[in-house]
Structure 1
Amino acid sequence: MRVQFVADLRRSEPSSVPTAPRGGADSTAPRGSPDVPVIDSDSQQFKERVRSLVPIEQIVAERVASLKRAGNSWKACCPFHQERTPSFVVSPERGTWHCFGACGTGGDVFDFVMRFDGVAFPEALEQLASRVGLEMPRRSAPSGPKPDHQPLWDCLGDVAQQWQRELRGPAGAAALAYARERGLQEATIDAFGLGFARAGALRELARTRHWDAALLERVGLLRRADDGRYFEFFRERLMIPIRDRDGHVVGFGARVLDANSASGAKGPKYLNTGETELFHKGRLIYGLDRALAPLRRARHAILVEGYTDVMAFHQAGVSNALAVLGSATTDDHAALLRRTGA
């Protein structure tokens, strides 16, 4: 299996700080929340106030144990690349840091926290503001009701469970054999919820649940043909539930089986749920719901090629393995990784 990318979130252990925090706030910085706060549009003044109250040398020293005073500045080996001679300089007077070595990175205290802690700017600002007892300015909540996604999650979750049952039935024999041939053990098959989309199973379940076609189309399970009639989008395929970071099923990946088998289906090798209000291919990472705790322990993510690669890595004990739903990573993928708190 080919490892495409390793998103390194590692950091050094915090050390004692050289100065006490200004403003009398608790010196323990809280981790950023996964829910990024909304900052008011006139927050530049607030940002400058936080910057003036937070000593950058203290923030860096808490994260970089080797930081030492050097005249009016502080120096250490750069935490963002490997080196033996210290080239990382912090200037309290300017409120900046800069690496004069290989990576050449630099910025202010917000840039440092964002890069080192792997958080977005709003989280960095909130984290530093809380240290000096400042409350974040926020926009008023948008008017109108929030969309209720629970019926959609319930529908997709029930379908995933039905397809799991189908995998263990007579119709799913070829799909189950394929999963086993890929080296997946029974516990892994069950843990990742693999299933089989027997033709007609969705309609049978929909009748018992009293789901209408509009709901099934809304979650990407039904498509409309040119003549206006609905058809099941996933048929006779090995089904892989795709979950958001909170564990809700939001869509599926579907693997075609051998065309010569009884359950063989024609079409592309893999199908994914189309874009829906829950499923946005460029904003989802497969396996993230299962990897949150391992990511925080390992401090880095291993991005592999596909669904079964993720399962194989987890089966082998590498629980921080993930896969993007496509051939390229996006800014949204990077933001998701930063928000894991790893």
Structure 2
Amino acid sequence: MRADGSGSGTLSRLEIDSLKAGVRIEDLAARYVPSLRRVGERWVGLCPFHDDTRPSFNVWPDSQSWYCFGACRRGGDVVDLLREAEGVDFRRALELLGGPPAGATAGRGWQSPLPVAVPRQSEAEPELTCEDRAILNAASEIYYQSLMTNAAMRRALQARGISLGTAQTYHLGYATGRRLARYLAWRHLDLERARCLGLLHDRLSGEDGANGDTSGDDVWEHLSQRLVVPVMRGWETVYLIGRATREAQRPKYLGLALPKEPLTGRGRPRRSQGIIVVEGPFDLLLLHEWGYWRQFELLALLGTQFKRRWLAHVGPDDRLLVATDQDDAGEAAAAELMAHFPGQAVRLRWPEEYKDVGDLAQAPDGHKIWARALSDA
């Protein structure tokens, strides 16, 4: 099933998102996890997918996502949960959410066999309070200090093509898993509010931190042992996203319990040749490293979803160079952007063996391949 809406029996990305929104993930999870209980801003229970003896299955209502920190080490959204629980493919999972059966025409009002959430009025995204901003700024600062004093993590960044200069420009950090709560307390900042923002979680009885933190504290850091990229507006942090530093860490990226904001390039081109849109924060960092901030505005969606206001400044003559990942989700995001900006958005292409800019950076001639893709657009 394609998400481009073309042809009979297909669903558009908007229709797929609507099906997902029709079932709250915490309601669905409760069907498979009888032990599910609320702990702060998340729900926790025994994982139904492995022989779990301590609660390792987590659900976050704010992001409508789940993850098993136990033996499974995987997670996803409501569709992924259905696929895992029912042993079905993507198409069948959409049918269970209320989509049309395979081969049927979309939009016929199929009744979902799952509990459907009561439609809610659209709500304006909550604004960060002064306390929230102080907490996020403090977290960004302690993570930055941790990276600057951790030679191993700086070498890990350099191995990915990110120099110390770029790390400093974007105020990159590293979450040790042990310093944030103590630092916030020392600054007399509200730890409970930090939990609500998704920075800290209560440690359950007998539970290690999500990434192996065994410091013995009552709380552990959500972004523990991850490289942290702050989303900043001026010098204020409005969002944080953490990237795994080990192959065993899942998911690859973790965000906060806040409305997501895009990462934008730091540095304004003298004469912009357009806006380059990528998915991941490290894709943007690499483009900055390669010097493209001098010619283009840079924007990372931090995923495949975008909001029109993020690109509200795009003028009728501006070019939008779409460099989302070359996978199904990235192609769907590219198609959506091109539909929103017909005649302005152009899809960049490079050899299929490279999924994204990060993959290109690991190739000996990756920079040249990218430059060629850009010139061909």
TM tier, smaller: 0.3 to 0.5
The structure number with the bigger radius of gyration is 1
TM-score under structure 1 length normalisation: 0.46
Higher relative contact order (CA 8 A, sep 6+): 1
